[in-house]
Structure 1
Amino acid sequence: MSHTIKNVALAGASGNVGAQVLSALLDLEFNVTVLSRNSKPFPTAARVKVVDFTSVKSLSAALAGQDAVIDTTFSPDVETPLRLIDAAAEAGVYRFITSDFGLDPDLPGVHDMPVFARKKASYEAVKRQAADNRLTYTLLACGAFLDWSLSSGFSGLGFQEKKAFIFGDGNNVVPWTTLEDVGRATASVLLHPQETLNRPVYIHSVFMSQNQILDATKEVLGNEGWETTYNDMEPLLENALADLKTGNISASTFEVQIQYCLATRALAHPWARDDNPLLGLKDWDLAKVKRLIETIAHKEG
């Protein structure tokens, strides 16, 4: 049975991913309802509903008449996405897109990382609901966020100080996707409900290793003066997991787990399936990656 999706509820619309998804949904002329904890302004084309994210009843009432729900919330709280999924099922929503936006959720070991516990719980929850024919689902696998990783330092590259923190030997090739491409692909999923039914979809802007990104950066910023360290990720991961157990938690506790995955081919590698053509994304060439690096470096300078 084919479904036409027109009314879309979006949670987390003010976040890095959510803002791009909202923009893409509006560009495609979906009827968008932003689920928000307060009445802060969003683009006028979007309707805003203030909801209690701690209440399935409140969420379910807000989701009445919606064809799809997109969760782009990123807080550590595991219960919020589970309540959203339960509320969507109760309200008769057809499609739920979970807040995954990462590595391949079907690859053994990925969702066993503690940093991905929230994603794992959401994936298991939507699969249970789908098995009971209460809703359908899609996950977006996009690898690491290319632009955010470069601008935040998560990529291991410091443009101003010319320092490179390399994960392992830096040779593992992985998917990287810009936030804009993630937003466009997420909205486009809803144009293809049958082709994206009950599965992860796999997108990318580029497949590159950390060393390849470093080489591109040196071509843009100059080859001189770089301080590069190659890091054994095993002990760093062990320390991060030990800190997690003792409650000695910092941002790096979680970042190291993801960086370990990016260094490990068994956990991160180019997708076997390519959904770029389905969702209207084009692969970036090296020149475009260099332009992005130059733009980000210029802003930092």
Structure 2
Amino acid sequence: MSRAIKNVVLAGASGNVGAQVLNALLDIKEFSVTVLSRSPRPFPVGAQIKVVDFTSIEDLSAALIGQDAVIDTTFSPDVETPLRLIEAAAKSGVYRFITSDFGLDPELPGVYDLPVFGRKKASYEAVKKQAAEKRMTYTLISCGAFLDWCLSTGFAGLNFQEKTAWIFGDGNNVHPWTTLEDVGKATANVLLHPQETLNRPVYIHSVFMSQNQLFDIAKGISGGEWTATYNDMEPLLQKALGDLNSGNISDATFVVQIQYCLATEALAHPWKSDDNPLVGLEEWNSEKVKALVQEIANQKAV
């Protein structure tokens, strides 16, 4: 049986996803929001702050007593932090746990086989175990790639200053992209629909689009000649996995694994079941995407 959710705890509120989730939670006036923090620091008005020891299940459990839901938006590579949060939430009687997933469909064969998603896999298995034992319920947010973040950081393969494009495979695979703001809104709104989002991934998107479609928008906005490099992702993946096994680890070791997924239809494609209407999101049209690309291109030109 579902229960109304009022008291909500957020972990990782200072991160890219967490900050957007916090803003969205505070916009929903019926929630009482508590932020877990490793140290005293300022957060938006309306959020209560609890300083906790994230290495201690006992300390976390004490902080979670009386809470209805916990949202984990921590993104450190440490797999133990989310597992401790899950265990502490279950011990404290928390009803709903939203894991720090925010990515591809965990139900697709092969997605969680990649080492880059090991932390997410461990969290998913942990909440499913708690749910099977009737100790807690859970939700995951599947949002594909972060549209605005990927464009801003270059993760989407587009360099606006140098007018170069690093294309994953042939660049034609269409998959979900979601802005951080839309992720935050959807995550908060999940808690308004506890029964409909019970023990499952919730599938959201701002737009379904290929990397080449984004590239075409970028070229149309900026003008001039762009240079594109089309990359066979399979050997790049194998090199990344080999480097990981040998301890020759860099950011690219993990980035390539995600980009391989985005180039592969079996691992990343438009959702068969879409939850945008449930969580209050509207799909973006091409003009809205173009405006975002223009905004980011302008920022990079400064």
TM range (shorter): over 0.9
**What do the CA deviations read for 1:171-200 (whole angstroms, capped 9, x no partner)?**
000000000000000000000000000000
User: For residue 78 of structure 2, what is the amino acid of its counterpart?
Assistant: D
Partner of 1:176: 177
Partner of 1:87: 88
Cα distance in 2 between the residues matched to 1:167 and 1:15: 27
RMSD: 0.6
Partner of 1:20: 20
Cα distance in 2 between the residues matched to 1:2 and 1:35: 25
Give 1:289 deviation, angstroms.
0.5
Partner of 1:269: 269
Matches within 5 A, 1:178-257: 178-222=179-223, 224-257=224-257
**What do the CA deviations read for 1:260-295 (whole angstroms, capped 9, x no partner)?**
000000100000001000000000000000100111
Give 1:205 deviation, angstroms.
0.2
Number of corresponding residues: 300
Partner of 1:41: 42
5+ residue gaps, structure 1, are none
Q: Indicate yes or no: 2:115 matched with 1:120.
A: no
Partner of 2:55: 54
Cα distance in 2 between the residues matched to 1:157 and 1:111: 27
Q: Indicate yes or no: 2:65 matched with 1:64.
A: yes
Cα distance in 2 between the residues matched to 1:278 and 1:116: 27
Q: Indicate yes or no: 2:9 matched with 1:5.
A: no
**What do the CA deviations read for 1:134-166 (whole angstroms, capped 9, x no partner)?**
000000000000000000000000011100000
Cα distance in 1 between the residues matched to 2:89 and 2:210: 39
Q: Indicate yes or no: 2:153 matched with 1:152.
A: yes
**What do the CA deviations read for 1:208-261 (whole angstroms, capped 9, x no partner)?**
000011011111111x21000100001110111111111111111111000000
Task: Detail structure 1 runs of 4+ shifted over 6 Å in the superposition.
Answer: none
SS at match of 1:165: strand
Cα distance in 1 between the residues matched to 2:250 and 2:20: 27
Cα distance in 2 between the residues matched to 1:294 and 1:115: 31
TM-score (norm 1): 0.99
Partner of 2:281: 281
User: For residue 68 of structure 1, what is the amino acid of its counterpart?
Assistant: A
TM-score (norm 2): 0.99
- Identity within the alignment, %: 75
SS at match of 2:113: coil
Cα distance in 2 between the residues matched to 1:79 and 1:198: 22
Give 1:6 deviation, angstroms.
0.6
User: For residue 212 of structure 1, what is the amino acid of its counterpart?
Assistant: Q
SS at match of 2:90: helix
Cα distance in 2 between the residues matched to 1:43 and 1:221: 36
